[in-house]
């Protein structure tokens, strides 16, 4: 069995992995795990002994979790273009610096809008308005830091060429855009950065990958989303309770 990737393109990290593999011509078998159907908590959809989350990489008997680890593994195994994950120690350190900051300030913040606007209502929960406002303020602060601390006057976040850092960041920002808040409006530096990243990736790949999340609000409004199974509710309620 060759390389298998267990993904749901509603997930930002899954989209980053999918785009990277497709852009670099990496051969893989896509194993779709539909989070809204609770497949990640059901037996038979993920490799044995996997945590109940995606993305997951399976390469023969080797199983790997966490998007950053998967991206680095793919870039190393398939010897992708150096600009994604450069061999230079200091260039790599800049990518790791961003990814550490990303985990602290972006990852848990930019995904909240999907919970407040789609996932929580699907199980009959309304997130308090003060939490929604607090999250939007946190998004604004993170966007300003992203511009000032990382992008600056460079073409991309850590250098003059696109890297894994840009891919991870783009997918988080696109999550907020898809949920009805254009975070690029009024931020010309970030908007230009997005244009450069998408030009590297290609319009067709971006449209293919972003299609599911860009349709999520319309599907929710038209009640076209699947019913989330009860066994997934406790984990979802825990996540909702942790929204600051």
- Using CA atoms, how far apart are residues 77 and 74, in angstroms rounded to an integer? 5
Does 27 have pLDDT greater than 90?
yes
pLDDT per residue as tens digits for the range 138-190: 999 999 999 999 999 999 999 999 999 999 999 999 999 999 999 999 999 99
Phi, psi of 55 (to 5 degrees): -80, 160
pLDDT per residue as tens digits for the range 49-68: 677 789 999 999 999 999 99
Two tokens at 183? 């975070």
CATH of domain 84-242: 1.20.1050.10
pLDDT of residue 49: 65
- Using CA atoms, how far apart are residues 154 and 160, in angstroms rounded to an integer? 6
Pick from 3, 36, 26, 30: nearest CA to 14: 30
Residue 224 contacts by C-beta under 8 Å, 6 or more apart in sequence? 218
Q: Where are the domains of the chain?
A: 3-82, 84-242
pLDDT of residue 52: 76
Per-residue confidence band for 46, with pLDDT thresholds at 50, 70 and 90: confident
Q: What is the biggest distance separating any 2 CA atoms in the chain, rounded to whole angstroms?
A: 50
3-state SS assignment for residue 1: coil
pLDDT per residue as tens digits for the range 63-97: 999 999 999 999 999 999 999 999 999 999 999 99
pLDDT per residue as tens digits for the range 226-243: 989 888 899 899 999 999
pTM listed for this prediction? 0.95
Two tokens at 71? 């991206």
CB-based burial of residue 181 (10 Å sphere; 0-12 exposed, 13-18 middle, 19+ buried)?
Answer: middle
Per-residue confidence band for 103, with pLDDT thresholds at 50, 70 and 90: very high
- Using CA atoms, how far apart are residues 79 and 234, in angstroms rounded to an integer? 41
Return the sign of the alpha-carbon dihedral for residues 73, 78, 81, 82.
positive
**Mean of the per-residue pLDDT values of the chain:** 94
- Using CA atoms, how far apart are residues 131 and 109, in angstroms rounded to an integer? 11
Pick the CATH number of 3-82 from 3.40.1080.10, 3.40.50.1010, 3.40.30.10, 3.40.920.10: 3.40.30.10
């Amino acid at each position: 069995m060759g390389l298998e990737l267990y993904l749901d393109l509603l997930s930002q990290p899954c989209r980053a992995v999918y785009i990277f593999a497709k852009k670099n011509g990496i051969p893989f078998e896509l194993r779709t795990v539909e989070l809204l159907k609770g497949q990640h908590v059901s037996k038979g959809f993920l490799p044995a002994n996997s945590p109940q989350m995606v993305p997951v990489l399976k390469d023969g008997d080797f199983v790997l979790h966490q998007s950053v680890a998967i991206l680095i593994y793919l870039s190393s195994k398939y010897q992708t273009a150096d600009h994604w994950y450069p061999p230079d120690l200091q260039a790599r350190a800049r990518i790791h610096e961003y990814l550490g900051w990303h985990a602290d300030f972006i990852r848990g913040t930019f995904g909240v809008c999907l919970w407040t606007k789609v996932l929580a209502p699907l199980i009959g929960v309304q997130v308090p308005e003060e939490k929604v406002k607090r999250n939007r303020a946190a998004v604004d602060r993170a966007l300003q830091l992203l511009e000032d601390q990382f992008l600056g006057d460079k073409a991309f976040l850590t250098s003059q060429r696109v890297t894994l850092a840009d891919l991870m960041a783009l997918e988080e920002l696109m999550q907020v855009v898809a949920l009805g808040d254009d975070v690029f409006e009024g931020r010309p530096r970030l908007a230009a950065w997005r244009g450069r990243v998408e030009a590297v990736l290609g319009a067709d790949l971006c449209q293919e990958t972003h299609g599911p999340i860009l349709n999520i609000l319309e599907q929710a409004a038209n009640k076209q989303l699947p019913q989330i199974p009860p066994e997934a509710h406790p984990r979802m309620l825990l996540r909702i309770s942790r929204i600051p």
